[in-house]
Amino acid sequence: MSYTLHAGKVVAKRRIYEALITPGFYIAASFGLIAGHILVQGFTRCIDTGGINFALNPVYSRITELLAGLFGVSFVEKLFSKGPFPFAFLCAVLPVFFYLPFSSAYQFGFEKSVGALELMVYGPVRSLSIALAFFLKDLVFILAYSGFLVLFFSVSALIHNLSLDVVFFQSVFLTVFLASGMYSYNILSAALTEHPASSLLMFFGFILLFSIVEIGNLAMTGEYVRNLSRVFSWIVQWFSPVFYWAMGLQAAEYGNLPIQLLSAGSLVALSASLILLSHIAFSARGVRA
């Protein structure tokens, strides 16, 4: 097992170096930083003598109208009660969050089609090491980018005379664990499919399924739809990183540290299980398209 981990680290270092010399990550990060800056600056323009008035900024006016229509006014008030930073962080991290699995799936599919992965497996590297390498590469990048966003928003808070609440830091912490769970599904999708397009379709299908189920529990819908969503959610939630992430965020809101740690631990366990399933799939199907 120690050899497998070592091989995974070595291959992951190579993947990280390759990602650093390509422009994709920097482009995605730039879009995220621009979105975060716009949201923080726009929030400051919503502050008047009577408190927060989202109608003063057209961006926030449209965002809050959309969110209020889906989840209700109380949800919007709770979302921005601690300032703009939790929502701004989520919007800023999304471009990189989705770019990383996209690039990994494409690279994995390409190397699979030309036989590079097959050569590695029949050589010194096991299939589990390959899965770990792609997973670790994406996790390192999202961890580094999240840390940079914390620094970015800390400076932004000082400039605009705002404060970073502890909920912001807790949401950053939980989002990294959410990424570990989602990226594990990306590895599993790559193991179960033959081509990058099929892998991405399956991965984004997982994201869509888990997101719709969670949104269905929060959205203002009819009683029949809500009850149906709850039944379906009870089945899917045990396999959903979004469910454990949302559970952790709710616990952070009420200052419940044990539930937050349980949420993070559940995401770690889910990630480990999915990577193990990916290894089994690689062993059964092979790594040649």
| DSSP codes, the chain | -HHHHHHHHHHHHHHHHHHHTSSHHHHHHHHHHHHHHHHHHHHHTTEETTEE-GGGSHHHHHHHHHHHHHH-HHHHHHHTTT-SHHHHHHHHHHHHHHHHHHHHHHHHHHHHHHTHHHHHHTTT--HHHHHHHHHHHHHHHHHHHHHHHHHHHHHHHHHTT----HHHHHHHHHHHHHHHHHHHHHHHHHHH-SSHHHHHHHHHHHHHHHHHHHHHHHS---HHHHHHHHHHHHHHGGG-HHHHHHHHHHHHHTT-HHHHHHHHHHHHHHHHHHHHHHHHHHHHH-S--
Q: How far is CA 79 from CA 37, 64, 75, in A?
A: 18, 10, 6
- pLDDT on residue 165: 85
- pLDDT on residue 114: 64
How much is the mean pLDDT over the chain?
82
Sites in the chain below the pLDDT cut of 70: 1-12, 111-128, 216-232, 285-289
- pLDDT on residue 269: 94
- pLDDT on residue 17: 81
- pLDDT on residue 99: 93
- pLDDT on residue 172: 93
- pLDDT on residue 288: 56
Global pTM? 0.85
- pLDDT on residue 155: 94
- pLDDT on residue 255: 81
- pLDDT on residue 262: 93
Give 129-149 pLDDT, tens digit per residue: 777 778 888 999 999 999 999
